[in-house]
C-alpha cells in the first residue's frame, strides 16, 4: 500500500490513476495515522517551493515525513516534492526543505544556454549516473516528461540520472530509501509506469 501525501498541493488524480494502473493499492491522505500505516510514501507537488513547504508545515506533515523517511520507509518525491527533499531552495529567497538529501534547489537558468526556454517543459532523455532500483529494466536514453524551472545542485553523490537541456540538469536522486524524480513518472507513459512499479518494489 502506497500513501500519497495530500497536503493541498497539486493534482493527485494522475498519480492515483497510474498506481491503480500498475495494480498498486494506494491511499491519498493527509492523516498522520494513514500515512504511518502505508508501506511507502509519495510526496507530490507543483507550484512554488515556499508555499509548498509552508503547507507541509501547516498540515503537521513536515516532521512526519522526515520521521518516516529516517525510519527507513521508502519515500519518493516527485517534481516539487523531489525539491522539498533537499536542505534548501533558492526559489524567491531562501527556504528550508526537509533536509533528507544534501543539496540546494537552484534556478536552471544558471545552468542552461541563454536562448533556451524556461520552464524546461517536455520529454527529455535520461542519462544514468549512480545506480538506482527505480530504473530496473528502464533503458538508458528513455524519455520522461519534465516541467520545471529549478533543479537540485550540490548533490552529486546522490544523482541517479541527469538530462541535457543546453546544460546538465538533475533528473533524479536517491539516498538509501529516499528517491526523488524531477520529472513526472505519472505522466511519462510506459517508462513512467515502470519507474513507479520499481519504486513499489523497493
Partner 1 sequence: MITKRIIPCLDVRDGRVVKGVNFGGIRDVSSPVELAKYYSDSGADELVFYDITASAEGRGLFTDILTSVASQIFIPLTVGGGINTLEDFDRVLKCGADKVSVNSGAIRDPSLIGRAARRYGDQCVVISADVKRVNGVFTVFARGGRDNTGLEAIEWLRRCTGEGAGEVVLNSIDTDGVRRGFDIEMLRAVSDAVSVPVIASGGAGSVQDFVTLFKTLPRVDAGLAASILHFGDTTVADIKKALRDEGITVRLSYPKRAAPFLDKGETCGKNL
Question: Which residues does the annotation mark as catalytic?
Answer: 79, 184, 186
Residues lying near partner 1 in the complex (CB under 8 A) are found at 11, 13-14, 17-18, 20-21, 46-48, 117-125, 139, 142-143, 145-147, 164-165, 186-193
Which runs of E-coded beta strand occur in the chain? 2-5, 26-29, 40-43, 75-78, 86-89, 95-96, 101-107, 120-125, 127-128, 143-148, 150-153, 159-164, 168-175, 178-181
8 Å CB contact between 112 and 165: yes
Nearer CB in complex with partner 1: 11/37: 11
The answer to whether 181 and 172 are in contact (CB under 8 A) is yes
Report CA dihedral (29, 16, 38, 84) to the nearest 10 degrees. Answer: -70
CB of 71 to partner 1, least distance (A): 31
For the chain, how big is the Rg over CA atoms in Å? Answer: 15
Beta 120-125 vs 101-107: how paired, if at all?
unpaired
Nearer to partner 1 (CB atom), residue 71 or residue 113: 113
Cβ 121 to partner 1 shortest distance, Å: 6
Which among 36, 49, 52 has a CA at the least distance from the CA of 3? 36
Nearer to partner 1, 82 or 101 (CB): 82
- Kindly tell me which of 158 and 165 has the beta carbon lying closer to partner 1: 165
Q: Which three cell numbers stand for residue 85?
A: 527533499
Report in angstroms how near the CB of residue 108 gets to partner 1 at its nearest.
12
CB of 63 to partner 1, least distance (A): 26
Amino acid at each position: 500500500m502506497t500513501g500519497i501525501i495530500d497536503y493541498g498541493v497539486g493534482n493527485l488524480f494522475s498519480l492515483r490513476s497510474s498506481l491503480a494502473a500498475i495494480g498498486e493499492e494506494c491511499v491519498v491522505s493527509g492523516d498522520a495515522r494513514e500515512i504511518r500505516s502505508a508501506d511507502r510514501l509519495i510526496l507530490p507537488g507543483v507550484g512554488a517551493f515556499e508555499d509548498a513547504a509552508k503547507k507541509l508545515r501547516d498540515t503537521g506533515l513536515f516532521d512526519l515525513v522526515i520521521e518516516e523517511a529516517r525510519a527507513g520507509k521508502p519515500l519518493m518525491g516527485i517534481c516539487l516534492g523531489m525539491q522539498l527533499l533537499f536542505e534548501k531552495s533558492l526559489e524567491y529567497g531562501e527556504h528550508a526543505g526537509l533536509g533528507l538529501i544534501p543539496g540546494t534547489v537552484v534556478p536552471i537558468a544558471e545552468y542552461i544556454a541563454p536562448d533556451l526556454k524556461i520552464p524546461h517543459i517536455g520529454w527529455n532523455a535520461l542519462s544514468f549516473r549512480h545506480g538506482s532500483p527505480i530504473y530496473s529494466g528502464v533503458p538508458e536514453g528513455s524519455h520522461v516528461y519534465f516541467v520545471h524551472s529549478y533543479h537540485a545542485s550540490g548533490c552529486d553523490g546522490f544523482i541517479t540520472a541527469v538530462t541535457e537541456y543546453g546544460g546538465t540538469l538533475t533528473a533524479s536522486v536517491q539516498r538509501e530509501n529516499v528517491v526523488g524524480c524531477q520529472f513526472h513518472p505519472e505522466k511519462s507513459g510506459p517508462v513512467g509506469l515502470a519507474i513507479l512499479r520499481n519504486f513499489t518494489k523497493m
